[in-house]
Structure 1
Amino acid sequence: MRMSPEAKVRMRNTERTEYRYYNDMGENRGHCTWGAGILAHRGVCTPEELTRVVSAAEVNAEFDRRVREAEATIHRNIHVALNQAQFDALVSFTYNAGPDGSADTYALINKNDFKGAGANMQKFIRVKVKTKTGTKKVIARGLVTRRAQESAPFLKSDADASAASN
């Protein structure tokens, strides 16, 4: 199973595309990111990184590579059947939260607790930001919408999910 072309386009459209390195939560906040929501590393970009530009070809190639990586992670970690909508949503979640961030969701799916998995996905809406006195977690508004979309195929009733796969 692979991510559907339609879901890949939708996911790409949820990612802000920048042809440079930037901090994903604004100036001196969040994580160093580039291209289509591609994490360069945790923590803010260095001044040198903030001057780095990337081409559309580099962004497209890395986006595709990371999608394939997320698909492979799901194939390695999920041992129950998923319908296409669930697989697509899980690729998007894994792309954004990473394999470690997705581990609890995978465990719930493997227990056939799809609603629990959907509820767990919805918890991933906060990010750490630096403050004058340390760090704090804040709600990232964009993640609220994204998690609602990603969790929806898991929160549907079994009958709805079965119908969606046909």
Structure 2
Amino acid sequence: MANQPQFTGEAGLALIKTFEGLRLEKYKDAVDKWTIGYGHLILPNESFPYAITEAEADSLLRADLRMTERGVHRLVTVDLNQNQFDALVAFTFNLGAGNLQTSTLLKLLNQEEYAQAAEQFLRWNKAGGKVLVGLTRRREAERALFLRAV
């Protein structure tokens, strides 16, 4: 098994929080699903009050990240430093492990082509076939974190 950090670090958490945004009250997301906190999808078996605290939102985010971290651990077969791991968790949190699994980013990374893999972040800036400024900024931030020395 590759040598990887176990959990998302502070830089990764900060990046995810910045781009997900914090909403302490329940709201319907773009696809009409109830959401709260840092993009936590409220499941049918979950019950939330109308509003939560920031500490509760942090706790939900940490719990949600566990599944994403497991996906990165399962798919990445090469050594990662904390910043690389955090960038991949942020990417996967936003796009899902299925997209990471089928990506050229993962293929290049698992071939130890770290620099080429980093450039692949920038390709994931579209929704509905259109380039979105917010996604472009997020992918640039993930790429920069991936390339940042520890």
**For 1:33 and 1:78, how far apart are their aligned partners in 2?**
31
Return 5+ residue gaps in structure 2 as ranges: 44-48
Question: Which residue number corresponds to residue 27 of structure 1?
Answer: none
- Pairs aligned (count): 135
Q: Which amino acid aligns with 2:52?
A: S
Greater strand proportion: 1
Aligned residues: CA RMSD: 2.6
Q: Which amino acid aligns with 1:109?
A: L
Question: Would you identify which runs of 4 or more consecutive aligned residues in structure 1 move more than 4 Å?
Answer: none
Q: TM-score, normalised by structure 2?
A: 0.74
If you compute each CA radius of gyration, which structure gives the higher value, 1 or 2? 1
- Structure with the greater relative contact order (CA < 8 A, sep ≥ 6): 1 or 2? 2
**For 1:106 and 1:31, how far apart are their aligned partners in 2?**
31
**For 1:113 and 1:67, how far apart are their aligned partners in 2?**
26
Question: Which residue number corresponds to residue 35 of structure 2?
Answer: 34
Secondary structure of the residue that 1:120 maps to in structure 2?
helix
Identity %: 26
1:137-166 CA deviation, whole Å, 9 max, x = no partner?
322221111100111244x4xxxx6xx23x
Return 5+ residue gaps in structure 1 as ranges: 25-29, 42-51, 129-136
Q: TM-score, normalised by structure 1?
A: 0.68
The answer to whether 1:55 aligns with 2:52 is yes
The answer to whether 1:118 aligns with 2:124 is no
Deviation at 1:23, TM superposition (A): 3.0
1:14-41 CA deviation, whole Å, 9 max, x = no partner?
21222222334xxxxx574622123569
